Amino acid sequence: MDEIDRRLIGLLRTDARMPVAALAKAVSLSRGAVQNRLDRMRANGDILGFTVRVPPEGAASRVRAVMAIAVEGERSSGVVAALRGVPEVEAVHTTNGRWDLIADLSADSLAAFSRALDQVRQIRGISTTETSILLESTRF
């Protein structure tokens, strides 16, 4: 991928329905050249598909956060299994560095969020957590 490919992807992130002619004008190439680039990126797996983004239902009123989790020893699989049982945990990611896991949390209220934090912190195998509430998000 070169700079023009990255610019095309950026334009499509903003509007996945942007016509090829408009994309071509934006990157100063012919329509055919842009179509060939899009076809190549799809064939190479650089573009997996085109989609529409809609805000999650009630997203503005939800409390969202990320929680960094340190796990004792080799207990990651047990911790992940226990996290599946916490409804406010939407996803768990393994990572490198200081933290072993990152959990995405979402709750209907601060009270529900607090209860979820308490529940997660009581999971056997979790040694330390650090949680940051997401105040505002920008999607690409």
* Confidence (pTM): 0.63
Residue range 59-133, CATH number: 3.30.70.920
Q: What whole-number percentage of the chain has pLDDT above 70?
A: 94
pLDDT tens for residues 67-122? 999 999 888 899 999 999 898 999 999 999 899 999 999 998 999 999 999 999 99
DSSP result, 33-80: HHHHHHHHHHHHTS--------PPTTGGGSEEEEEEEEE-TT-HHHHH
pLDDT tens for residues 54-81? 665 556 678 999 999 999 988 889 999 9
In CATH, which of 1.10.275.10, 1.10.3720.10, 1.10.10.10, 3.40.50.970 is domain 3-44? 1.10.10.10
What ranges do the domains of the chain cover?
3-44, 59-133
